[in-house]
Amino acid sequence: MSPVIPLGPFHPALEEPYKVEVTTTGETITDAEITVGFNFRGIEWLAERKTYTQDIALLERVCGICSNVHTLMFCRAVEKIADLEVPARAKFIRVIVAEAERLHSHLLWAGVACNLIGFETLFMTCFSLREQVMDVLEGISGNRVNYAMNRPGGVNRDITDPASILDAVRTIADVTAKQLIPVMTTDRTVRARCSGVGILTREDAIAYGAVGPMARASGLATDIRKSAPYLVYDQLTFDVPVRSEGDVFARIVVRALEILESCKIIEQAIDMMPAGPIAGGLFLAVPAGEAAIRIEAPRGEVVYYMESNGTDMPARVRVRTPTFANMPTVRVMAIGQGLSDLGLIQASIDPCYSCNDR
């Protein structure tokens, strides 16, 4: 008889509750079943019962790491339906904040990955750099977590000290290039723990609809910033890191390389940012209509659908997060792996189950 071993819903690997039940033969996983829904907060239901202004604050609470993504998506949906023009400077500010948030997310994940591997020194390096990113975001917005930057038609705050942002970004890029990437790519401990573990083939990535760094680590050069540019990404030069191995090691390398690309984007955006207003006039009403918006969040593609009916409340708000697309891949990655690898495999998708459950 093959034993069924539950992991979760409460466990030390993540603070968010979710459950994986694995069937094993000895210590080898032969099947896995994922259960979510422990964090349901009814955010979409609430969004349809609050005003557009109230919804901005509400949707910023979908995710603590990607809070800016959700207000940006909501505001872009309103802008599309109401035909609101966003000033050029505001678009550049939105890019800077979005990429700083990507830095924050990737450095946080890298630190957690190092901690799971048992590499405490590198964990402290990652979190030291993350602290600098949070200082940058606090300097721009006044907040370290929920930034309250976006509004329909622009942003709420200007960037008044670009020099400090550049200094921090260049430090992060330098340490990442000279310390993080060399250690992550050459250290025998990291390779032994991560190479060949949790493989998601290119074919499986396509079949399961994987997005973001997960897909790119499996050989798919998919990035909404390139394939369907928004804001001012079509004016900026950056690469999309891709690896073909599809294992935990490839996912580490992709995210590390994306840290460098985000630093490049922020530097360009600050240099190219024009003078001018940061927001248009106040919107008085949102006409009846609908909009579907996509952007590349740190974990991958986020999709928002909004329907308006001409009142001060949206008729429908639908959110699809990257974790919704990526979490089914845990099953295919876990089968055939050792039981001790399960924590690292599920962490390698950088899951946010609170985002997914909403």
Q: What is the DSSP string of 3-39?
A: -EEEE-SSBTTBSS--EEEEEEETTEEEEEEEE--TT
The arithmetic mean of pLDDT across residues 151-167, rounded, is: 93
Residue 14: is its pLDDT beyond 70? no
Which helix H or strand E contains 297, and what residues bound it? Answer: strand 289-297
Residue 13: is its pLDDT beyond 70? no
Please give the pLDDT value at position 318: 92
For the record, the structure tokens of 327 come out as 């979490």
Residue 230: strand, helix, or coil: coil
Residue 353: half-sphere exposure toward Cβ, Cα within 13 Å: 22
The arithmetic mean of pLDDT across residues 1-8, rounded, is: 75
In the chain, % of residues over pLDDT 70: 97
Q: For 215-246, what is each residue's pLDDT tens digit? A: 999 999 999 999 999 999 999 999 999 999 99
> What is the Cα–Cα distance from 211 to 230, expressed in whole angstroms?
18
Class in CATH terms, 4-357: mainly alpha
Residue 129: strand, helix, or coil: helix
Please give the pLDDT value at position 282: 72
> Structure pTM?
0.92
Collect contacts of 182-191 with beta carbons under 8 A, ≥24 apart.
Answer: 183/122, 184/110, 184/122, 184/252, 184/253, 184/256, 185/253, 185/256, 187/119, 189/117, 189/118, 189/119, 190/117, 190/119, 190/249, 190/252, 191/249
Residue 38: is its pLDDT beyond 80? no
Q: How far is CA 153 from CA 83, 100, 222, 347, 354, in A?
A: 9, 21, 28, 37, 28
> What is the Cα–Cα distance from 152 to 230, expressed in whole angstroms?
15
Residue 338: is its pLDDT beyond 60? yes
Please give the pLDDT value at position 189: 81
Nearby residues of 311 by Cβ (< 8 Å), 6 or more positions away: none
Please give the pLDDT value at position 349: 85
Sign of the torsion angle spanned by Cα atoms 97, 103, 106, 108: negative
Residue 45 CB neighbour total at 10 angstroms: 11
Please give the pLDDT value at position 89: 96
